[in-house]
Amino acid sequence: MSTALVLGGGPAGLAAAEVLLARGHAVTLVDHKPSLARKFLMAGKSGLNITKDEPVGDLQRTIGCPQLDPMLAEFDAADVRAWADGLGQEVFTGSSGRVFPVAMKASPLLRAWLARLEPMDRRLGWRWVGFDGAGHDFDTPEGREHLGADVTVFAFGGASWARLGSDARWLPAFEEAGIPMVPFAPANMGLCVDWSRHMERYFGAPIKNVALNCAGRRVVGEFVLSRAGLEGSLIYALSPELRTGAPLFLDLKPGLSEAEVAARLAKRPAKESLSNRLRKALGIAGPLAALLQEFGRPLDDLPSKVKALPLHHTGARPLDEAISVAGGVAWGALDDGLMLRAKPGMYCAGEMLDWEAPTGGYLITASMATGRWAGRAAADFMER
């Protein structure tokens, strides 16, 4: 029987192991943590969003990485739903199109998945430390160990949430082996803001029904004020543009034109206070009014500030705090089956590849798709 080594116990690694086992190959899965899929479990604490219920073409366009297109065509949102159903885990689609397990937690789904993967050998608490010929060296609780295999699938994750396992400590060994890398950068990350003291009362407040404009892109929805700065889906959606240093502007009234804002303000009595004018004419009060004061002074051209308030920040939150990362193993280092050109029989999958997923279930879907793709290619390699 051929043997396969899967390094990394997140969704990509488990998906690769699932395919290899189904093809009749012995699988050894290695992870440096004492338990598997820790980031997956953390993502499910507030409701596990496993995919977005949309056609594959929309899925591909939203993720925006052409190299992933064939993998998503083979394992798309409908396939994710069918996979969960096959594990006995019923799912439902929310009003936004996001798909969740009915249990709303990751743990029942993970337990069912690991039960299906029971035949594989697990080596937990083993940290990969580098290539050794056709095999690999590991630091283990019992000391240095070596493992060889007919094929290897790397699914190490990225460089965020190190405490859950994605610490990128594999990166120096890849670089030393001459494998081309794109530097990691935060994705789906918050922004740092040096707030004035009067903003403290609004920390934790959601800013709803607004729009953000950055580098020609406009997104509508909500974000959150935090002690550290700005967080939430609208901020995350603009990660690629914000990383380049493009200025960020807030539209407090996306349903009105600047002329309509000016007209409404002009109808208010001249002696009325600014806070009353904003509240009665435009419904701007509380944290919205505080943001206008924080970033809009002097308020000499109020309609333009309402429609394009510059949100001054000091850059992205630290890489380890990001939900996910951009960068990783360069596509030029891989063949069409995700095999490393410099290491025949060794494949890469998941977040360690150079791509970037928006929030909304896309990260889990594409990670599983790449894991299955690499697992199938690895099985084909052995069977040839």
Whether a cis peptide bond, with omega within 30° of 0, leads into 298 is yes
The answer on 147 and 175 residing in a single domain is yes
- Quick check: is 304 in a domain? yes
Supply 248's token pair. Answer: 């960020």
The answer on 38 and 7 residing in a single domain is yes
What length does the chain have? 384
pLDDT along the chain (384 residues), means of 10: 89 98 97 94 83 96 97 98 97 94 93 96 97 94 95 96 92 97 96 97 97 97 97 95 96 98 95 95 97 95 97 95 95 98 97 93 96 98 94
The answer on 197 and 168 residing in a single domain is no
CB atoms within 10 A of CB 215: 13
- Give the structural domain span for 224: 193-310
Greatest Cα pair distance, the chain, in angstroms, is 86
The answer on 350 and 230 residing in a single domain is no
Cβ-Cβ contacts under 8 Å for 168 (sequence gap 6 or more) = 156, 158, 159, 162, 184
- Quick check: is 86 in a domain? yes
The answer on 330 and 277 residing in a single domain is no
Cβ-Cβ contacts under 8 Å for 106 (sequence gap 6 or more) = 37, 40, 41, 43, 44, 45, 48
The answer on 306 and 339 residing in a single domain is no
Total number of domains constituting the chain: 2
Task: Check if the beta carbon of residue 40 is closer than 8 Å to that of residue 110.
Answer: yes
Instruction: Tell me whether residue 267 is exposed, middle or buried, using C-beta atoms within 10 angstroms of its C-beta: 0 to 12, 13 to 18, 19 or more.
Output: exposed
Helix (H) or strand (E) holding 327: strand 324-329
The answer on 229 and 80 residing in a single domain is no
Last residue of one domain, picked from the residues 310, 336, 361:
310
Amino acid 1: pLDDT: 53
Task: Check if the beta carbon of residue 188 is closer than 8 Å to that of residue 270.
Answer: no
Amino acid at 37: A
Amino acid 359: pLDDT: 87
The CATH number of the domain where 125 resides is what?
3.50.50.60
- Quick check: is 9 in a domain? yes
* 38 vs 160: CA distance, rounded Å: 13
- Quick check: is 316 in a domain? no
Sign of CA dihedral 187, 193, 199, 201: positive
Residue 227, phi then psi, degrees to nearest 5: -60, -35
Amino acid 46: pLDDT: 73
The answer on 216 and 107 residing in a single domain is no
Residue 331, phi then psi, degrees to nearest 5: -60, -30
The answer on 149 and 7 residing in a single domain is yes
Report the DSSP pairing between strands 151-154 and 346-348. parallel
Supply 137's token pair. Answer: 């060296």
Supply 223's token pair. Answer: 């974000």
Q: In DSSP terms, which residues pair with 153 in a beta bridge?
A: 6, 347
* 128 vs 283: CA distance, rounded Å: 56
The answer on 238 and 93 residing in a single domain is no
| Among 345, 354, 343, 342, residue whose Cα is nearest residue 374 | 345
What's the order of all strands across the beta sheet hosting 143-147?
A: 127-132, 135-140, 143-147
Amino acid 125: pLDDT: 97
| Among 250, 251, 241, 252, residue whose Cα is nearest residue 316 | 241
Instruction: Tell me whether residue 190 is exposed, middle or buried, using C-beta atoms within 10 angstroms of its C-beta: 0 to 12, 13 to 18, 19 or more.
Output: buried
| Among 234, 215, 214, residue whose Cα is nearest residue 224 | 234
The answer on 174 and 114 residing in a single domain is yes
- Quick check: is 318 in a domain? no
The answer on 300 and 151 residing in a single domain is no
Count Cα neighbours of 329 within 13 Å in the Cβ-side half-sphere.
29
Rg (CA), the chain: 24
Last residue of one domain, picked from the residues 310, 332, 348:
310
Amino acid 200: pLDDT: 97
- Quick check: is 317 in a domain? no
Last residue of one domain, picked from the residues 264, 282, 310:
310
84 three-state secondary structure: helix
